[in-house]
Amino acid sequence: MFRCTTAAFSLCLVFFMFNSPAVSQYSRQLIILKDKNGSPYSFNAPSAYLSPKAIERRTRFNIPLDSTDLPVNPVYLDSIKHAGAVTILNVSKWLNQVLIRTTDAAALDKISRMPFVKIAEPLANRPLTPTIRMDKFNELLTDVLQQANTIQAVNTNSINYGNSFAQIHMHEGEFLHDQGYLGEGMTIAVLDGGFNSYLTNPGFDSIRNNNQILGTWDYVDNESSVNEDHPHGSECLSIMAGNFPGYLVGTAPHAKYWLFRTEDANSEYPVEEQNWAAAMEQADSLGVDLVTSSLGYSTFSDPTFNHAYADMNGHTTIVTRAAELAVKKGMIVTNSAGNEGNHTWKYIVAPADGENVLTIGAIDLNKVVAPFSSFGPTSDGRVKPDVTSLGLGTFLIGTSGNIIKGNGTSFSNPNLAGLITCLWQAFPEFSNKEILNAVKKSSNQYSTPDERVGYGIPDFKIAHDLLKNERIRRQAEKVLGNDDIKVFPNPVVDRLTILFKAIRSGSIDVQLIDASGRMLQSRVQDVLGTQISIIQLDGLTIIPHGTYYLRYRSGDQHGTIRLVK
């Protein structure tokens, strides 16, 4: 499901939707397996099922392989496939389940009796004669996509953002870009309902010409083409990957992208959650860094499948369980909060309930929460959404390359996802959770989160500085080792840098004296207990060559260090 709403007016399109199915009409079945016994795959040979980049990520962050990494036993798949008139649509190794299509009742009965099968359950109906409804577009994409003037916004940065300046500046995102972090070397997977016209849209000339689109797959129709499907994914993609200087520049214009269609815009069934899980696993196997999804699930075309608010607890739905496993594998997952704020449901939708999913709500340019943005918290009381971004009047690229505005958490999500990717590019040694923790801490309501905006609006200059300071602290830890203080360089050149770990909070008094005992410089600086402080003495070029001493005192910690110039 993808919904983008506004209070202005609604735009409805003719579309096709299936009649409500009877039980006998279900043709897509989920086969949940008991185990992976007898698998030919091994933890000792991960290259058989993971890309070098995926393996490198696990090595870098010390993520051990486990049974969820092993593919589903191919012997089991073979048995299911040959049970009768059965087509395997996709497979989830993480959840150890198989999506099949069949109308062969005997085959389904045979599969359900196989010793390795735990349960077989229906997920969606087979295609029937369509009926026409006029209101589905209102539920799928947006009430309105307004044509907007391409008047250039005024900015003083090296990148001419045009219309997108305000939505990037809201987060000080241009600070990252001006530092050279535009997504190079990073990979993003976009899970959506289609990427209509991305092959011909002039707004994507840059990523096409630079081979930034690494590949595509349609999990709905089991084919590689996603160009003819719904435009929602293209619009989300443009907010990150667009590169129209003077008109619109995205938040991660130099990243590389995988485009996965998991959503069937013609109906709503939990089969789409299984598609989402399969795409997420593929993203992991390919070594993707960040997965962004402007999709969400709560109610379905057949109400018997409906989730309850109690299910928004972070571990119940297929899609949320897959999202949490993706984070466990080292990826960042961002998802729109949903647009249920002024609907009966009201709350966030799965997988936005995931504990480690960064759930993004919507605000306007005045930083006021959009009325449609879904409420938190999760049903078990956790803060959701996590953060917010511009989702009311977000500039994006339409299917013909025109600059338009769209409304919805569908669009606030990619605006932040691209900037988070650039932040991770700047600090690749930090884990997915550490990056997101910095994003949350940088937000303007971090100390007072609420049910509408969560921790608030992230500031990527602050997030950058938080990570930079942590990087320095970690480097200082390595330099200090078991010592309380170290001074360098020695011999002295023009500046002394002092690393000091205080036993308790207070202050440190340092004095630079010459061989005769004459004080040349002194400094008093506050220190925090057990934390590393950095003290610097500058302007030492003018002192003559010779022997010097640095005296220091902080409570019971004191001493003298001999220096040479």
Measuring CA to CA, which residue among 327, 336, 185, 159 is closest to residue 251?
159
Task: Say what the pLDDT of residue 479 is.
Answer: 87
DSSP conformational letter for 104 = -
Give the integer Cα–Cα distance in Å for 97 and 281. 12
Task: Say what the pLDDT of residue 123 is.
Answer: 82
Task: Say what the pLDDT of residue 530 is.
Answer: 87
Task: Say what the pLDDT of residue 332 is.
Answer: 98
Q: Which domains does the chain have, with CATH numbers?
A: 21-125 (3.30.70), 144-472 (3.40.50.200), 485-564 (2.60.40.1930)
Consecutive 10-residue runs of the chain (565 residues): their mean pLDDT? 37 27 65 95 95 95 96 97 96 96 94 95 58 29 31 54 97 97 98 97 95 97 96 97 95 98 94 97 97 97 94 97 98 98 96 98 97 98 98 96 96 98 98 98 98 98 96 88 91 91 95 94 93 91 93 96 94
**HEC per residue, 34-71:** CCCCCCCCCCCCHHHCCCHHHHHHHHHCCCCCCHHHCC
Task: Say what the pLDDT of residue 125 is.
Answer: 61
Task: Say what the pLDDT of residue 1 is.
Answer: 59
Residue 190 near residue 289 (C-beta atoms within 8 A): no
How does strand 187-192 pair with strand 256-261?
Answer: parallel
Six-digit token pair at 28? Answer: 């897509």
CB burial of 80-99 (b: ≥16 within 10 Å; e: otherwise) equals bbebbebebbbbbbbbbbbb
Task: Say what the pLDDT of residue 460 is.
Answer: 98
Task: Say what the pLDDT of residue 14 is.
Answer: 26
Burial class (CB in 10 A: 0-12, 13-18, 19+), 562: exposed
Task: Say what the pLDDT of residue 157 is.
Answer: 56
Question: Coil, strand, or helix at residue 385?
Answer: coil
pTM across the whole model = 0.86
Task: Say what the pLDDT of residue 261 is.
Answer: 98
Residues in the chain, total = 565
**What angle in degrees, to the nearest 10, is found between the helix axes of 409-426 and 460-480?**
30
Task: Say what the pLDDT of residue 25 is.
Answer: 59
Measuring CA to CA, which residue among 181, 189, 184 is closest to residue 237?
189
Task: Say what the pLDDT of residue 473 is.
Answer: 86
Give the integer Cα–Cα distance in Å for 326 and 276. 11
